[in-house]
């Protein structure tokens, strides 16, 4: 163990390891609490859509995967449950890509290697007392509960089912999304590089339907996906197991504070330990990486006499990041509620609105910039 430690990070996922590298770059001494690896060999099917701001952050840490594991998205097609269609195109916005679909296991491995060999970071099994403890343990954070911080949850009536598919036709670097009449939301995210034929699937379905879909054999499940997606990529074949989790909008009641009595220092929450939102806009990890970028910047810019655990400093971080999460979560929450209405008038209105938005010009450009982290 280092003679003294400035920050203890609890949680060694993507958000926690990114923060550790950012702080070590600012010459802060970091203890990173990493749980032992799970013994199971179940493949991780997760893939995240990372925007240009997140890409620049990870590139600065030399942890950006190669093109096979970080597929550039050149276009997006969002289909309504009627005639509605919204399209985004990277060339229109003069950017090399709208976002990148990143293979989670590859990114986690690169971050793990980087933290293992970065001076100023020590991997530990148990928390150590420091001026600042940052909790990056995810939505089910044990530490958050131990700190007495409530996690206000608004559950959606949906579960997400994730898997991967091999497609008959190349994906063409297009991310596709369908809002279906039964309230389901299906996304196909391009994987395996520009010429790839594999997609990551995130299918938000009513929680009562999830067990039935999970019980289907691979061929029948692929057939359901073919029907839901309209067959645009040709025949589909399962390429990975299926994972499932409940969807929610959630926020911790406090993101910073003092550690409990008899314990020194302060704490801050970041990433899913602080907040959760619907995955329909693919912004969850982008917001989490925005958290740690802002926290690292605040600590780097602090006056020399301020401790990393100075509450005034941490409350600046809390105010800034709560505002960013609130704007994004309200947008995704509004879309989920809008497309969850089955009435014919609601169907007609939302599809009319999608087409109006697609032709809106400046408004559409503004929304695209916000999603890319540049607005």
CATH class of 7-154+247-371: alpha beta
Which of 270, 271, 272, 275 is CA-nearest to residue 253?
A: 275
Would you state the structure tokens that stand for residue 115, as one six-digit string?
A: 């933290």
- Which parts of 210-255 are beta strand (E)? 236-238, 243-252
- pLDDT at residue 82, as a whole number: 76
Q: Do 160 and 244 meet the contact criterion of CB atoms below 8 Å apart?
A: yes
d(C-alpha 275, C-alpha 268), whole Å: 12
Say how far apart CA 326 and CA 346 lie, in whole Å.
Answer: 25
Residuewise pLDDT in 10s, the chain (375 residues): 566 899 999 999 999 999 999 999 999 999 999 987 766 677 889 999 999 999 999 999 999 999 889 999 999 998 887 788 888 899 888 899 999 999 999 999 999 999 999 999 999 999 999 999 999 999 999 999 999 999 999 999 999 999 999 999 999 999 999 988 777 899 999 999 999 999 999 999 999 999 999 999 999 999 999 999 999 899 999 999 999 999 999 999 999 999 986 567 999 999 999 999 988 878 889 999 999 999 999 999 998 889 999 999 999 999 999 988 888 888 887 777 777 767 777 778 778 887 887 787 787 787 777 777 766
pLDDT of residue 246: 94
Please give the Cα distance from 177 to 282 (Å, whole number).
11
What lies within 8 Å, CB to CB, of 6 at 6+ separation is 23, 28, 29, 30, 130, 131, 132, 308
Q: Break the chain into its structural domains and give their ranges.
A: 7-154+247-371
Q: How far apart are CA 57 and CA 176, in angstroms?
A: 26
* Range list of β-strands (E), the chain: 7-10, 30-33, 47-50, 70-73, 75-79, 85-89, 99-103, 121-124, 132-135, 151-167, 174-179, 185-191, 198-206, 236-238, 243-252, 256-258, 266-269, 275-276
């Amino acid at each position: 163990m280092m003679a003294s430690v400035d920050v203890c990070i609890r949680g060694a996922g993507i958000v926690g390891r990114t923060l550790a590298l950012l702080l070590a770059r600012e010459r802060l001494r970091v203890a990173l609490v990493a749980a032992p690896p799970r013994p199971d060999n179940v493949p991780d099917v997760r893939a995240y859509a990372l925007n240009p701001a997140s890409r620049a952050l990870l590139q600065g840490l030399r942890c950006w995967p190669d093109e096979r594991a970080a597929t550039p998205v050149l276009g997006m097609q969002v289909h309504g449950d009627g005639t509605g269609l919204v399209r985004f195109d990277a060339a229109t916005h003069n950017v090399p890509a709208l976002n990148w679909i990143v293979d989670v296991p590859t990114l986690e491995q690169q971050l793990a290697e980087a933290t293992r060999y970065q001076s100023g970071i020590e991997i530990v099994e148990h928390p150590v007392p420091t001026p600042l403890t940052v909790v990056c343990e995810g939505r089910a954070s044990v530490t958050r509960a131990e700190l007495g911080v409530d996690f206000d949850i608004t559950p959606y009536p949906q579960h997400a089912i994730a898997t991967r598919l091999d497609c008959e036709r190349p994906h063409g670097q297009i991310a596709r999304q369908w809002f279906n009449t039964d309230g389901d939301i299906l996304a196909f995210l391009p994987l395996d590089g520009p010429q790839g034929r594999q997609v990551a699937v995130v299918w938000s379905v009513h929680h009562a339907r999830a067990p039935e879909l999970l019980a289907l054999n691979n061929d029948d499940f692929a057939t359901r996906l073919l029907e839901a997606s309209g067959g645009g990529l040709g025949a589909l074949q399962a390429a990975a197991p299926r994972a499932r989790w409940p969807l929610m909008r959630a926020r911790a009641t406090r993101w910073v504070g003092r550690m409990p009595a008899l314990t020194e220092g302060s704490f801050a929450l970041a990433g899913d330990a602080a907040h959760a939102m619907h995955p329909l806009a693919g912004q969850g990890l982008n917001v989490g990486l925005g958290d740690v970028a802002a926290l690292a910047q605040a600590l780097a810019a602090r006056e020399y006499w301020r401790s990393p655990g100075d509450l005034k400093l941490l409350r600046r971080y809390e105010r800034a990041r709560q505002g960013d999460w609130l704007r994004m979560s309200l947008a995704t929450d509004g879309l989920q509620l809008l497309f969850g209405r089955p009435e014919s008038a609601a169907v007609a209105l939302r599809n009319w609105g999608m087409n109006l938005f697609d032709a809106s010009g400046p408004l559409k450009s503004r929304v695209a910039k916000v999603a890319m982290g540049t607005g």
